[in-house]
Amino acid sequence: MGRVPGLMTETSWKNRYATDLKTLYGEVRVEYYRSRGPGGQRKNKKETAVRLKHPPSGVTVTATESRYQAVNRRRAFQRLQEKLTQLNKPAKMRIPALVPLEEKWKRREEKKSLSQKKRWRRTIEQEDLE
């Protein structure tokens, strides 16, 4: 198969953002806050919800489902890894569709008719009358 110019192969792109946990622990700002909803006093009084901010990419993820901060932190890091993996994937190049010959003829005829209309709208010069 021939190589298509402009399309990136799997080996030609590099990961922009690290997705391993060791690196993420150093790059991420972790915030804890009180979550909303059912869960009893522990959830309402303790700061169990976790928000992770990843400044290099600008991604923010949260986890508030569990009553336990450690579980929410683990879920938030998993979500951050998933989002960064999506960001690391290269964008697929759009290959434009070919315009059918019939459509080209139709457009050409429309242009001709518009051009004819504009010619008819011109004002008649005195020289043209003579």
pLDDT tens for the 130 residues of the chain, in order: 444 444 444 444 567 898 899 999 999 999 999 988 776 776 778 888 999 999 999 999 999 988 889 999 999 999 999 999 999 998 888 898 899 999 999 999 999 999 999 888 887 766 666 6
Beta strands 59-63 and 29-33 are unpaired
CATH number of this structure's domain 21-88 = 3.30.160.20
Query: Where would I find the H helices in 28-100?
Result: 40-45, 69-88
Provide the pLDDT for residue 123: 74
Locate the domains of the chain by residue range: 21-88
Provide the pLDDT for residue 129: 65
Provide the pLDDT for residue 12: 42
Backbone angles phi, psi at 61, to 5 degrees: -130, 155
**Among candidates 94, 78, 100, which has minimal Cα distance to 24?**
78
pTM of the model: 0.61
Which tokens belong to 46? 């303790």
| Cα 36 to Cα 33: distance, rounded to the nearest angstrom | 10
